[in-house]
Amino acid sequence: MSIPSEHLLVIGDLSSHHVAAMVAILHPDKGEQVAAYKRIDCHTDDLSDRGRHEAMAEAVRLVCEQAGIEPWSIYLTRPDADVVSRMAIGWASPGEEMVLTAQDRTWALRRAREQATGADREVLQVVPIVWKVRSREGEREVEDPVGERGNHLQVEALVVSARRGYREQLAAVAKELQLDLDGVIPQPVALYRGVAGRLPKRGLSVVIDMGARHTTILVRRRERLVHIETHAFGGQDLTRRLAEALHIDDERAEALKREVDVSSHATSPAPEGQQFIWSDLQERSVQLAPAARILSEALTAFFKERARDLREQGYLAQQGQVHLVGRGAGLAGLALLLKDVLDLPVVVGSGDRQRQPGDELDGLLTAGLVCCAGDLRRERLFAESTTLRKRASGLWSWLMKPMH
């Protein structure tokens, strides 16, 4: 593949039910395009660290062979139950009215990033939400401050953070792969980048991704991502509750979970005063009603608490729409349950009835990961070019000093 190495992106995804690797090409004008993709299905949470690393190494090897490249570095992502966001303000003040540069933009984002996040947390990414430029004509919002004229630049940014040590864990994965870590991509940000183009242009959009171990909630308002939260709650928790309450094994609990409608939890009386032949089919039929009640109560309690928090923070409105994605979207009745709890219409996935929610999520996440990796690579290339220009400028100034 005759592509400059700085325009090649290798990305690895360590999800709960698979590891995936992709190679993308960073085009100067056309954006990013996926050149190769490889996925290995496995329950990564059941594997040892060595097992996960070996699976990731195999996916990277196969995808790079398919693309015909030799990898040197990699971007990595992994779902985590402690990725959250907060709003922060950053600024840059040139002092006099002038044309704002990319360097001013970088300084504003850096100031937003450097605001205190707590000793137990580390910043993963800063997502600009609103840019404001102040000039003699007053203050105005702009899409991109570079090239605008003003004497003060302010950004309202979403600072995405995780527990301290998250980046170190992924750096250890890259080291095992014998690759440099290009960057860490927060999975909720990648999901948003993948789904953003399919959300309504106006009003409020709430994206809920319920997976095996984690549930992520994204809020978009006025076409801007304003909130991210993740929780250690997912399909595995529901399976475990069924197994414990009904005294059945996990395999049967998982199958039962897929049969019930969680929006209905009417109970049916157990047979009395008669002999009952307990075939597997009959036993499962008797278990359907209590299973529906158990799941409905667990899901309702969880999402009611989330809805209360979102309303208290001002992130829920009377008009909007919920998009339910991920493996959990396949639970019968979950969309109706969410509609009642959040008091908003619910769309499964992007609304494409021809695609399963889980399959669609993989495509959305892949597209988002490539976009995020492209952004990070462009930022790095810009920073390197700026450093080189400064060094060259300094050298030229030294060479042009008059001799005494």
pLDDT one-digit tens code per residue, 281-332: 445 567 888 899 999 999 999 999 999 999 999 998 778 999 998 888 888 9
Contact at 8 Å (CB) between 260 and 295?
A: yes
Domains and CATH numbers, the chain: 84-166 (3.30.1490.110), 193-351 (3.30.420.40)
pTM of the model: 0.85
Instruction: Quote the tokens at residue 267.
Output: 């109970």
Instruction: Indicate the pLDDT class of residue 215, thresholds 50, 70 and 90.
Output: very high
pLDDT one-digit tens code per residue, 356-374: 666 677 888 999 999 999 9
CA distance 193 to 139: 29
Least confident piece of the model among 41-50, 173-182, 382-391: 382-391
pLDDT one-digit tens code per residue, 84-135: 999 999 999 988 999 999 899 999 999 999 887 778 899 999 999 999 999 9
